[in-house]
Amino acid sequence: MTRRHYNLPSLNALAAFEAVARHLNLTRAAEELNVTPGAVSKQIRHLEDELGHQLLRRHSNGVSLTTEGEAVATSLHDAFDRISATLKSVRAAGEKAPVSIVTTMATMQLWLMPRLGSFWAEHQDIVVEHIISDRLQDVPRPDIDLRIRYGDGHWPGEVAEKIQGDSVVAVASPQFLARQPITSVADLAAAPLLSVEGADWVWMTWARFLTEAGAMFRKLNVRRFNSYVIALQAARDGQGIALGWMSLVAPLLASGALQQVTDAQLADPNSFYVTWPERRPPSREAQILKDWLLAQAR
C-alpha cells in the first residue's frame, strides 16, 4: 500500500471527528457535514481503529472526549482554523481586504449600523461582511473574524475585550402611556410587559428588574418574543412596556418614539464585548475594525 506523505488518517474521518468534538453531538455534526449520524459514527470508529485509541465516550445523552480525543480535537481545531484563514486570504487576493463580524439583529440595527458610516468613510479599502443571528452560538463558520456579544466576557475558545457596560430602563410609547399612566414601579407589575426570551439571551428579565427596583409582584402579565427588535416594535406600537438597554434605545428616547416609564434605571452586570477566536489572532483588517468598535464607547 502506498504510504501517504503526511501519514495522516482519512481526511473525511478527521473532519467528522472535528465536527463531533466541536458539537459533542453526533446528530448536529452529521447535519453540518450533510451526512447521516451513522456515517459519522462509522468514520470515527475507523479513525479510532487506525490510531489504536478511543477518542469518544458514548453516553445515552451524547458524547464526551477522552484524553486522547481532547489532544486530537485541539490539534484539528488549530489546523482547520489556519487552513480556513489561509484560504480566505487566497480567495480575497487582489480584492479589497474583507473582515467578517457576527452580531444579533438588535445590536446591528440599533447600535452598529448607525455608526458604521464613519468606519466605511475612513476605511474604504476594507470590506465588512455582516452575519446576523440571534443565536450566536449556532453560527458554524470557523472563518468568522469578530463577534459582538453581550454577557460576562467569558466564552470558551474566544478572547474578549469590553466595548461598554449598560443600564436598563422601562420604555413604552407615548400613546400607551396616555392610555395607561404609570406613576411608579409598583404600577409596572400590573401592566402588560413585553419580554424577550431565547437560547442565547442572558439579558435582564422583568422579574429581576422589578425585584431590584423594589416592586412587589406575584404574577406578571407577560407577552413573550424571541427577538428584541420585534419586542421594541411592539412597544412602539403601543402594545406594552419593554425593557430598554440605554445603549440601544437612546436614539428612540431622543426621537420621542419611546419614553422612559419610571425613574428606575438599573446597572446591568453584563456588558457588550467584541470577541475573536483564541487560536487565531485578528488580521490587520479585523484589528482595525476591533479598535474602531472599542473606540465607539469612548
User: What pLDDT was estimated at residue 201?
Assistant: 62
Closest CA to 247 of 207, 203, 208: 203
Domain ranges of the chain: 11-90, 96-298
Placement of cell 400613546 in the chain: 175
Q: What is the pTM of this model?
A: 0.69
| Same-fold call for 11-90 versus 96-298 | no
User: What pLDDT was estimated at residue 197?
Assistant: 79
pLDDT one-digit tens code per residue, 95-107 = 566 889 999 888 9
Q: Give the span between the Cα atoms of 145 and 287, in whole angstroms.
A: 9
User: What pLDDT was estimated at residue 1?
Assistant: 45
Task: Tell me the residue length of the chain.
Answer: 298
Placement of cell 425585584 in the chain: 211
Q: Give the span between the Cα atoms of 241 and 66, in whole angstroms.
A: 49
- Domain 96-298 adopts which CATH fold? D-Maltodextrin-Binding Protein; domain 2 (3.40.190)
Domain 11-90, what architecture?
Orthogonal Bundle (1.10)
- Residues of the chain with confidence (pLDDT) below 50: 1
Q: Which residues pair with 65 in a beta bridge?
A: 56
Closest CA to 189 of 235, 240, 152: 240
Angle at alpha carbon of residue 282, lines to 277 and 285, rounded to 5°: 140
Contacts with 70 (C-beta within 8 Å, 6 or more apart), sequence order: none
Contact between 154 and 194 under an 8 Å Cβ cutoff? The reply is no
Q: How far is CA 192 from CA 182, 221, 265, in A?
A: 11, 5, 19
Contact between 13 and 47 under an 8 Å Cβ cutoff? The reply is yes
Amino acid at residue number 118: S
